[in-house]
Structures are given as C-alpha cells and as structure tokens.
Amino acid sequence: MTDSEDQPSEPAAQGPKGAELIRAEVATLPQRPGVYRMVDAKGSVLYVGKAKNLRKRVVAYTRPERLGARMARVVAATRALEIVTTRTEAEALLLESNLIKRLKPRYNVLLRDDKSFPFIMITADHQWPQITKHRGARAAGREYFGPFASAGAVNATLAQLARAFPLRSCSDSIFESRTRPCLQYQIKRCTAPCVGRIGREDYLAMVDEAREFLGGKSRAIQERLADKMHAASDALDFEAAVVFRDRIQALTRIQGRQDINLAGLGDADVIALFRSGEACCIQVFFFRAGQNFGNRAYFPAIPRQTEDADILESFLGQFYANHMPPGLVLLSEAIPNPGLVAEALKLRAGRKVVLSVPTRGARRAAVSQARTNAEQALARRLSENASQRRLLEGVAEVFGLAEAPKRIEAYDNSHIGGSGALGAMVVAGPDGFVKNAYRKFNIRNAEGAMKGGDDYGMLREVLTRRFSRALREEAQGKAGLWPDLLLIDGGAGQLTVAQEVFEELGIDGVALAAIAKGPDRNAGRERFFLPGREPFQLDARHPVLYFLQRLRDEVHRFAIGGQRAKRASAIPRSELDKIPGIGGVRKRALLNHFGAARAVEAAGIEDLTKVEGISATVAKRIYDHFHEER
C-alpha cells in the first residue's frame, strides 16, 4: 500500500483502493472474531468495526452499492485494512470500544478529532500542577505516564480523566493571565484554580488521585470517592454529592473490566514473535494501568539461520534503545541472555525491569493473543509481498530485463515558473515503497536548469549528483545502493538526458525507462520509452501498468510536497515572530484581537493585556520590542 494525496495536475492512477483493496484482502482474513480498522491515504483511521467472523463481516464491504451512504464513503476512501484478532466476539466488542475512544475515527463518532510514543505529563514543579499530553525529551520536576500507542490514545484518556479529575490543562501563561473561569470550568472539566474556585490543598489531593489512577490504583480511588459522596449526601450537600457521583461514573467508564484489558497486569509490554521461513513479525502490545492501549507490528530483516530467541533478544535491545521500558516485559519465548538484557533495561529505566515468559493464566493468554496477531499480520504481509514480487517479475518481462528488479528508483522534478525548483527520488522493491530511501534534491542551478522552459537541466543535475555520489562511495569501499531500474517521469527527451549522464559517468548495467503521460494527460494511455526500442503502450488494465503508474504518482506526490514545503519556508516572517516568547497561539490571539501586526505595534501595554494569554510581563515585552527599536 502507498500513501497518496490529491494532486493539482492530471487525474492520477492510484494504488488499490476502496472495494477493490478490500476484495484483495478478504482471502487473507481469518474466520475468527476480531477488530478491523479502515485507514485512508494519509494513515488516519476512518472506521473501527468488530466482527464475530472477520472474513464474513469484511466481505460485505466489497459491495458498496449495498451499503448506506456513510459506509459507502468509508469504503471509497479506504487505502489500507488493519486487523486485530480476539478470542471471543465479546472481547472484539470491548476492544472496538477502546479503539474508538482512543482513535476517534470520524465515521464511528461523526466527530473530527484530531514515531515516538506520546505520554501524559503532570507538571509537579508548579504550584498548581497541569496535566497534558507530552512528546519528546523529559524535564526535571515533571512526571510522565505511558507510553501510549498513539496521540489519539492520549487524547481520549485525557478527555476521560478530565471528567474524573478536573485538573487544569492550560499552559502556564494562559493560567497566569486568567481573570475569570474558562469554558473547561463551565463544562466541568476543570476546577478553575486560576481564579481561586478551589483551594490548593483540595487541588493537590485531586492531583494525587490522578497520579494514583495512572499508576493503576483505580479501585482505592473509587472507594474514597464513594465515601465522600455518601458523606456529602448525609450532610445534605447534594450538589457536592452529584460532583462525586459524576467522577465515580467517569472512572467506571474508563476502567471497564474485560479480558482484553488485564486489570492485574499494571504497566507491561507484551512482546510476541512469529516466524515463517526467513520472515518474521514481532507484535508489541502496550498495557498501562491494566488497560490495552494499542499495539504495533514490526517486521525486522533477519539474517539466515538466525534462531528465534536471538531475533527476539536483538529486537529488545533496539526497541528499548528508543523507548522507556515498563517494569514488566512479557515474552513469547525465552531469550539466550535474560539476565544481561534485564540489567541493560534496568540501567535504561533507572529501576528494576522483569522479563518473564508466562506459562499460564491471564499473562499467558495475553502473550498468546499477541502471538496470534503476529502470525496473522505476517501472513497478510507475505501475501502482499508475493503480489509485489509478481509485479516486479512483470516489469522485467515488459522491459526485457534479465531478472526482476530488486530496487527501482523513480525521478521527477517540481517548480513554479522556475522558482523553488526541486528534484525527487522514490524507491520501491520487493517489500513495496522504501520510504527511508526517498531523497529530495534542491536544484542549485535552478536559473540555468530552467533556461529554455524545460526541465532537462534539472534532471541532469539530479542524476549527476545522485550517481556521482554512488561512484565516490563505491571508490571508498562503501556498499553503494544501485538501482536495477531507473524510471523517469517524462518522454524521449528525459530518457536521452539520463543516457547522456550515465555515458559521462561511465555507468552501465542500470536499465533506463521513461513514462510519459498519455494524450490529454489521461491515465491508462501512458507511453513508455526505452533505449533502442520504439515507444509502446500497455493495455489499460495491465497490472504492470497499474504498478508503474503508482510509482510515477508517488514520486510526483513526493516532489510536489517537497516543493510546497520549500515554498512555504521561504514566506517572509511577521514582525511578531521576532519577539521572544510569542509563539503560534499568542500570535494568533494578538492578530484576532487587533486585526493586523501593524495594529499590535500601535497598541499600548494596557491594550495588549486585554488579549487572552498576554500577561503584563509579556505585554511589556511586546511594547518594548516595537518602541525600543524606534
């Protein structure tokens, strides 16, 4: 599957999509209970559903004409199908509920919501601690809970926590400038400590409760809240009793008990490996405070004759080099050096980390569940790879290559009237698109390259730089990455440029081809140019044509995206951007209040403090910036 986006040029052929994609996936789906996720071209989850029998349920989406309008739109926008199996339909239902709360798919809840793992952070170094989402480096005086599988998981958890523990989520600058409660207070998601609507002792007690809950001590908190509710009711303080009741109900919704959530597990990662021949999949399930916060599948490249236990041990070292390990890691099998790995993880975490291979009970069930999902994810991937290999063999047949290409590089250029010129390269192979091998080339001689109104000079510069570097690396004894096939977006002229570059550099052994858009830029009528052959076309339904169109469209998308980003970075900055401490939120607030940067410049300190988020200190900084320069 490939990412794609709308292009401003001609209608482009896309990869398998919608009902066609689902039809191709159905044969690989298990006839077991589980949850499926429909994903769009940008990787966003459109819809989450559950099924007693995944294959029988998903096959219904291959006939969009029999669906309602809403689900027909979902199917049309689907570019990938993701599957998690469960043991029972009830577990599938509960997991579906978890994923909907965390991912907020717009076609499930009809709401818009919005790779390192995100965390929940409590700013314990502040007089009135804040609870918020956090990514990146950790700072002293702050507490972190997680990781969570996605930003959606954190957002959903924070939304539920706000009902049970109405703590402030606003930034320190906004907190300090408030003179009256905000909307969060009105909807009972905050206790408005900024304006003294709650005492500090009571607020800190609530912070402690949130900390306990995130640490897995939910039952004790719920019992204390129940005691407070009954005490308030006995004292005839029914308003306070209702508040405690609502907090209890929020906690109940968060911690719904189920097998897919392991209440006694606490914080743990469940890691399971499944192998088939020289391919393997490792599934990682994240459990935090006994709740399943999602999973990710990894497909490591493995040397031949490597034992499964060695693969798993190597994976642990690499995975936890970038992610903080929890106190417990459950494994599907024993590794050769558990003591050494545990000690290394202890140093990484700053606390004891237990590695365990459970043999019974709920923990063993969790590992078995992860291993089952690893097996099925690998089966789907191998099926996709087999299709990819057949396509590469078809490319070899169409272009007269001796064998199926293992690395194809596709090239395209993008510019607007010669400005912002940029070249792009994408790479594809037996495993699909190799996105970490994509490259952009800022055209150094853009004016000269665009002379005459063509992009031959741009292409010449890109190919010369790309393959001159490959030759230098080879001369230095490095393993250079050479393509088996080079595909250029263009016609005979572009092919000639590529031939000339290769002749100048003394390169042979790389097949060259150019793909030109059809008459009226119609997809399906492309012409192909190869050295020493007459231009030719493929049948509009030829699978190789479809594959080559996807390559052409992917490099075009990548080039357009890079050119837009380059153009955006060249836009002049506002004078407000030069003021220390004025970020995007404050800048937007100032412009919304005054209408323009010039009006901000003319404002006095008193006028500036009327803007939400602008304290007296910040207002003086803004005023001084404009007036001291004068």
Distances 550 to 17, 164, 384, 427, 513 between C-alpha atoms, Å? 12, 49, 15, 12, 15
Contact 268, 287 (CB under 8 A): yes
Cα maximum dimension of the chain: 95
Residue type at 480? G
d(CA 283, CA 270): 8
At residue 519 the predicted structure's pLDDT band, cuts being 50, 70 and 90, is: low
Among the ranges given (247-261, 263-277, 508-522, 579-593), the one the predictor scored with the smallest mean pLDDT: 247-261
272 and 311 share one domain: yes
Which range of residues forms the domain containing residue 128?
Answer: 119-216
- Is the confidence at residue 496, as pLDDT, over 90? yes
Highest mean predicted confidence (pLDDT) among 144-158, 276-290, 430-444? 430-444
Strongest mean pLDDT among 13-17, 133-137, 246-250, 625-629? 133-137
Least-confidence region, from 14-23, 29-38, 332-341, 528-537: 14-23
Inform me whether the pLDDT recorded for 299 exceeds 70: yes
Q: Residue 395's pLDDT is what?
A: 93
- Per-residue pLDDT, averaged over 430-459, amounts to 75
Tell me: pLDDT of 113 over 70: no
Residue 261 lies in a domain: no
User: Do 415 and 549 fall into the same domain?
Assistant: yes
Residue 570 has pLDDT above 60, yes or no: no
Domain shared by 537 and 594, yes or no: no
Q: What is the CATH number of the domain that holds 308?
A: 3.30.420.340
User: Does 438 score more than 60 pLDDT?
Assistant: yes
* Residue 301, amino acid: A
CA–CA distance, 169 with 163 (Å, rounded to integer): 13
Give the mean model confidence (pLDDT) for residues 341-357: 85
The CA–CA distances, whole Å, from 349 to 139, 316, 346 equal: 15, 14, 5
3-state secondary structure of 529: strand
- CATH number of the structural domain spanning residue 77: 3.40.1440.10
Mean pLDDT of the chain: 80
Question: 614 pairs with which residues across the strands?
Answer: none
- Considering the domain architecture, whether residues 318 and 188 belong to the same structural domain is answered as no
Q: How far apart are the first and last CA of the chain?
A: 57
**Is residue 400 assigned to a domain?**
no
User: Using 50, 70 and 90 to split pLDDT, how confident is the model at 3?
Assistant: very low
* 253 has pLDDT over 90: no
Q: Residue 257's pLDDT band (boundaries 50, 70, 90)? A: very low
462, 597: one domain: no
Taking only the tens place, the pLDDT of each residue in 72-88 is: 888 999 999 999 998 87
Confidence of residue 568 (pLDDT cuts 50, 70, 90): low
In this predicted structure, the answer to whether residue 115 has a pLDDT above a threshold of 70 is no
Element (H, E) at 177: helix 172-177
Q: Is 489 helix (H, G, I), strand (E, B) or coil?
A: strand
Domain stops at, among 536, 568, 600: 568
Is residue 337 located within the same domain as residue 363?
Answer: yes
Which residue from 551, 564, 517, 570 is spatially nearest to 422, judged by alpha carbons? 564
Residue 293 lies in a domain: yes
> Is it the case that residue 109 has pLDDT exceeding 70?
no
pLDDT of residue 7 exceeding 50: no
Whether the model clears a pTM of 0.75, i.e. scores above it, the answer is no
Boundary (domain end) residue, out of 541, 568, 595:
568
Mean pLDDT of 275-303: 79
Residues 555 and 470 reside in one and the same domain: yes
Segment among 43-57, 186-200, 203-217 with least mean pLDDT: 203-217
Shared domain check, 587 and 562: no
Give the residue with greater pLDDT, 442 vs 357: 357
Q: Tell me, yes or no, whether 250 lies in a domain.
A: no
Same domain membership, residue 293 and residue 375 = yes
Fill in the amino acid letter for 241.
A
- Same domain for 564 and 437: yes
Residue 499, pLDDT score? 94
Output the domain CATH number for residue 614: 1.10.150.20
Coil vs helix vs strand at 426: strand
Q: Is the pLDDT of residue 566 over 90?
A: no
Q: Could you give the 3-state DSSP secondary structure of residue 188?
A: coil
Query: Stretch 113-139: mean pLDDT, rounded?
Result: 77
Asked, for residue 242, whether it belongs to a domain, the answer is no
Domain count for the chain = 5
Q: What is the pLDDT of residue 58?
A: 92
623 Rama sector, left if φ>0, alpha if ψ -120 to 50, beta otherwise: alpha
pLDDT at 13: 39
Say if 275 falls within a structural domain: yes
Among 158, 196, 349, which residue's Cα sits nearest to residue 268?
349
Which range of 164-168, 180-184, 220-224, 497-501 scores highest in mean pLDDT? It is 497-501
Q: What is the pLDDT of residue 42?
A: 83
Radius of gyration of the chain (CA): 29
Q: Confidence class of residue 381 from pLDDT cuts 50, 70 and 90?
A: confident
> Are both 461 and 480 inside the same structural domain?
yes
Handedness of CA 465, 470, 474, 477 (dihedral sign): positive
Residue 452 sits in the same domain as residue 559: yes
Q: Residues 234-244: what's their mean pLDDT?
A: 79
240 in helix, strand or coil? helix
Work out the average pLDDT over 601-626.
85
Within a domain: 346: yes
Q: How far apart are CA 290 and CA 215, in angstroms?
A: 9
**In a domain? residue 582:** yes
Of these ranges, 361-365, 515-519, 564-568, the one predicted with the greatest mean pLDDT is 361-365
* DSSP assignment string, 333-371: S--S-HHHHHHHHHHHHTS--EEE---SHHHHHHHHHHH
